[in-house]
Amino acid sequence: MDLAYLRAHPEHLPTFLTHQRIRETPVGGGSMSVASRLTLDDGSSVFAKTWRSGEPPEGFFAAEASGLEWLREAGAPVPEVIVALPTMIATEWVEPGEPTRAAAEQLGRDLAALHRSGADAFGAAWPGYIGPLPLDNTRAAGPWGAWFGERRLLPYLKISVDRGALSDSEIGLVERILDNLATYAHSEPPARTHGDLWPGNVLWAADGRAWLVDPAAQGGHRETDLAELTLFGGAPFLSSVLGAYREAYPLADGWQARVPLHQLHLLLVHTAAFGGSYRADVRAAAESTLREM
């Protein structure tokens, strides 16, 4: 199987893997998926992901493929989708490299161009996932604050509560934010966003560019992508990313104060999916947000 054959017959990839007709090299995967580098007969490689245990949720890999293709249409640096099947996804192989200041500045400009390309509505045209959890992509015209509260905070607050990942104190803080969100939130027209842009979803490549991977792509607020880049230690050369972004696409006044609000979505996803180890992060983001409201 070479790359041309794979493009023409993507449905045959699982059979070739089952019969060990393709060289498969494990690479770092996530908590839900198993990732491999597949080396084809012509020497080319692709990156493949399968579900770690059992069957993936319905539409899981289709959502990732749709998001990658939608971002790629806007010129974003994302891998090309080669295979999208119910049980797996395979994309072009991007050779890993090291972060550089030049790549960080280009990432800022790339994100600015992506966000400027816009979206027809908040949400997306396909059912979404973020991590292992469903993402309600029902499209909405806005305003952003109401949509963000209803579709991006409240569902993951409820799941977090159901699994006992938050105390009454954190629950009360987030509920106060929901009560006041409409008057505090700075609304903008929908931007075309990655949607899950924590630093681990930026692939610093050997070609000197930063690529975007594992999206939960959606029409959203551009500040959410940027705020997520600062989570969990922050992206390398973060100040260069943000500086180049702001030169290309200036942010509205007060954006720094709104960073914790935008981070709260992904932090609640973490308490919903992975439990109370992220409780303190939710509390800190909620308290910071409330101080600004």
Dist. CA 213–CA 216, nearest whole Å: 9
Of 41, 162, 196, 214, which residue is the catalytic one?
196
Q: What is the dihedral of CA 90, 103, 252, 257, to 10 degrees?
A: 90
Q: Catalytic annotation on 110?
A: no
Which single residue is written with the structure tokens 């007969």?
Answer: 41
H helices present in the chain, as ranges: 3-8, 13-18, 60-73, 101-116, 144-147, 154-162, 168-184, 222-228, 238-248, 255-274, 279-292
Under 8 Å between Cβ of 290 and 176: yes
The CA distance from 35 to 21, in Å, is 17
Of 135, 132, 166, 170, nearest in space to 271 by CA: 166
112 Cβ neighbours under 8 A, 6+ residues apart: 244, 245, 248, 249
Measured CA to CA in angstroms, residue 72 lies from 65, 121, 195, 217, 281 at distances of 10, 18, 14, 11, 32
Whether 87 and 61 have beta carbons less than 8 Å apart is answered as yes
Task: Assess contact for 228 and 198: CB atoms under 8 A.
Answer: yes
Residues recognised as catalytic: 196
